[in-house]
Structure 1
Amino acid sequence: MQNGLLSAALAYVVWGLFPLYFHQLSQIGAFELVLHRTLWALGFLLLVLAWRKQWQWLSHAFRQPRVLVLYATSATLLSVNWLIYVWAVNHQHVLEASLGYFINPLVNVLLGVLVLRERPRPVQWAALTLAAGAVLWMSWHTGAPPWIALALALTFGLYGLIKKTAPLDALEGLTLETLLLATVAAPVLLAWDLGGHSALAGAPGSLWGWLLLAGPLTAVPLLLFGHGARRIPLGTLGLLQYISPSLQFLLGVWLFHEPLQSTRLVGFALIWLALLLYSGETLWRTRRAA
C-alpha cells in the first residue's frame, strides 16, 4: 500500500511540474515537440523492454486487428492531448491547462453516464452541475468557453475510458501506442526537417539535452502511475490526482505570473467545490465499504 501510494503520488508530482520542463523548450513549436516526444519515448520504452526481455506480447498484439484499432485510437487521443497541453504551456495558458485536469474527474463521471450507462449518485450530479455552472460562468465573462481546459479534459477522459477496457498492461500498452504514433511521427519529422522548418537547426547542445529527457519524462510517470494504481484503493487514487493540476495552478500564478482575475477565480472556486463534493463522497463510500 505504501509503495503504491508513493509511486502514484510521484507520478502526479512529475506531471504537475511538466510546465517547468516544457518552458525550457519553448522555442520549439508544439507540433515538432510532440513528434520528438513520441520518438524519444518509444526509444526509452524499447530499452526497458529489452532490459526485461519482454517481447512475446508484441507479435500477438499485431495479429489482433481489434487491439491495433483500440490502441491506435488511444494513441491519437494521447497525441492530441499532448499537442494541446504543450501549446498551452508555451503560450502562457498554464492556468487554463490546470483547469482542464481539475475538470477531468468530473468529465470521467459524465462519460460514464453517456457511454457506459452508469447512474451517478445525487452528490455526483451536484458536482457535475457545479462544474457546468463554472464553465458557463467563465464563458459568459470571457466571451468564449475555456476551450483549452475542455479539450484537455475531454481527450484525457476519452483516453482513460479506452484504457479502462484495454487488454495490455501499462508498459505494453504505452509501447504499442507510441510505436503506432512513431509510424506517423518519424516520416513527418523527417519531412519537417528536410523542408527547413525545424527549430533545432543549429540548436545548442543544451537544448538537445532537454529534448532527450522527453523519453523518460513521458514514460516513467505513466509506469509509476500504473504500478501505484494496482496497489491502492480507487478513492485514494482519485484524491491523489489533484496533486498535478494544483502544482500547475501554483506555477501559473506564482512563477509564470499569469493573470488571475476575480471572475476567473470564481470559476476555479466552483470547480474546487465540485471536486470537494465528488472526492468527499467517494472517500466516504470507500471507507464505508472497507
Structure 2
Amino acid sequence: MPDSNRGVLLGASAFLFWGFAALYWPLLSASEPSEVLAHRMVWALLAMAVILLVTRRGWGWMVPVLREPRRLLPVAVAAVVISLNWWGFIYSVSINETLQASLAYFINPLMSVLLGMVFFTERLRSLQWAAVALGTTAVVVMTIAYGATPWLSLLMATSFAAYGAVKKYVDLDGTQSLTVETLVMFLPALGFVVYLEASGSGTAFSVSAGHTALLVGGGFVTALPLLLFGMATRLIPLSVVGILQYIAPTLIFLIGWLIQGEEMPASRWAGFVLVWLALCVFVFDQFRTQRKARSTGASGVTKGEADPAQGRDGQPARQDGQPEQWDGPPERRGCPSDE
C-alpha cells in the first residue's frame, strides 16, 4: 500500500477512536477532570510499555533521546500541548458541553491547514480550497449558533493543531515519540495522583472496581489513537490530516445530540451539512487526482496543476509530500516512515 493511502487509513482510524471517546470519559464523572487527566497520563505510559513489549521494540533507543536536548525538546513540547487538549476535552464532556468539543474539532482542521501552508509550504488544489472554504463557513455558522465565545473549543483546537505541527519536527517514529511524550508527563501526573489519594480526595480506589478499571483503561484509550495519529502525520501532508479530522467532530456532534440530548437548532444543522459538503468535495478531488495520476504516468503532473512530488518553487519533496527540510539523523533522512 502506498504511504499516502496508508497515512489516510491510519489518520481516519485515529479520528474514529477520538470520536467514540466522547462516550468513554463521561463514565468517569465521579472524578474531577484534573484527576482523570492525571490518571490518563500515568496509565498511557503503561499502555505504551505494553505496545513496545508486544512489538518487541525494546527500550535501548530511549537513552540517546533523553541525553540530547535538541531531540527531546520537541517531544516535550508535544507532551505539554496535547495535555492541554486532553484536559479541555475531558472537562467539556464532563459538564455536558459535548457540542462545544465537537466545535473545537471542526475548527482544528482549519488551523492544521493554516499551519501546513505557513510552516511546511503545503499547497492546495482549487477543489481543496473549496473544501476549506466550506469548512470555514461551517465553523462560522456553528460559532454563531453557539451564542458565545467558545473558549474551550478554541483551547482544544489550538492545542491539537500545534501538536500535529510539532510532531513534524520529531525525528522518532510514532511509537517512540508517544512513549517519550507519556514519560515526560508521567512524574508530574503520578505526583498529583499520589497527592489526591493521600489527602483523601482521590477516587481511584474509593468508588468501585469498575471505576478503577476505567481509569486504567483510559491509558489505552489515549495511546492507541495518538499512536495512529503520530504515524499518519509523518506520511501525509497536514492539509490532508486537516480534512480527515472532520471525522471526529462529526461523531462527537452526533453523540452530543442523539445520545446526550443536547439541543440541535437549525443553525447547527446548517453547519453540520456544510461540513459534509466539504468532505464530499475533498474526497472527489482525491479521486480525480488519483485518476489523473494513473492516466498521465508516475509523475501525476497535469497542465496547470502542481506536481505533488515537488514543494514550493520546485523543491524536491519528501515521501509525505513535504519539501525536504527535515534535519534528523542522516540514516532516516527522506524516510519518515513509522513502520
The TM-score by the shorter chain falls in which range? 0.7 to 0.9
Contact 1:95-1:249 within 8 A present in 2 as well = yes
Give the alignment of 1:82-93 within 5 angstroms.
82-93=86-97
Secondary structure of the 2:24 match is helix
Which of 107, 110, 113 is equivalent to 2:114? 110
Counterpart of 1:191 in structure 2 is: 195
Contact 2:109-2:246 within 8 A present in 1 as well = no
Contact 2:243-2:279 within 8 A present in 1 as well = no
Counterpart of 1:259 in structure 2 is: 263
Q: Which amino acid counterpart does residue 83 of structure 1 have in structure 2?
A: W
Shift of 1:249: 2.2
TM-score, reference length from structure 2? 0.74
Q: Which amino acid counterpart does residue 41 of structure 1 have in structure 2?
A: A
Contact 1:99-1:268 within 8 A present in 2 as well = no
Counterpart of 1:97 in structure 2 is: 101
Greater RCO between the two (CA within 8 Å, min separation 6)? Answer: 1
Q: Which amino acid counterpart does residue 216 of structure 2 have in structure 1?
A: L
Q: Which amino acid counterpart does residue 34 of structure 2 have in structure 1?
A: F
Which of 11, 26, 29 is equivalent to 1:26? 29
Structure 2 residue 45 is matched with structure 1 residue 42: yes
Residue 58 to residue 281, structure 1, CA distance change in 2 (3 Å): same
Shift of 1:240: 5.6
Alpha-carbon distance in 1 for matches of 2:237, 2:122: 20
Structure number with bigger Rg = 2
Secondary structure of the 1:213 match is helix
TM-score, reference length from structure 1? 0.85
Alpha-carbon distance in 2 for matches of 1:212, 1:129: 41
Alignment deviations for residues 132-168 of structure 1 (CA, whole Å, 9 cap, x no partner): 4344434444432333333322221111111123100
Contact 2:107-2:139 within 8 A present in 1 as well = no
Counterpart of 2:66 in structure 1 is: 62
Which of 281, 289, 293 is equivalent to 1:285? 289
Secondary structure of the 1:92 match is coil
Which of 157, 161, 165 is equivalent to 1:161? 165
Alignment deviations for residues 220-241 of structure 1 (CA, whole Å, 9 cap, x no partner): 2333455677889999977765
Alpha-carbon distance in 2 for matches of 1:158, 1:37: 20
Unaligned runs of 5+ in 1: none
Alpha-carbon distance in 2 for matches of 1:10, 1:115: 26
RMSD, aligned CA: 3.1
Which of 13, 17, 25 is equivalent to 1:14? 17
Contact 2:76-2:184 within 8 A present in 1 as well = yes
Unaligned runs of 5+ in 2: 295-339
Shift of 1:199: 3.4
Alpha-carbon distance in 2 for matches of 1:147, 1:31: 18
Q: Which amino acid counterpart does residue 68 of structure 1 have in structure 2?
A: L
Structure 2 residue 82 is matched with structure 1 residue 72: no
Q: Would you tell me which structure has more helix in proportion to its own residues?
A: 1
Shift of 1:171: 0.7
Shift of 1:251: 1.6
Count of residues in Structure 1 that have an aligned counterpart in Structure 2: 290
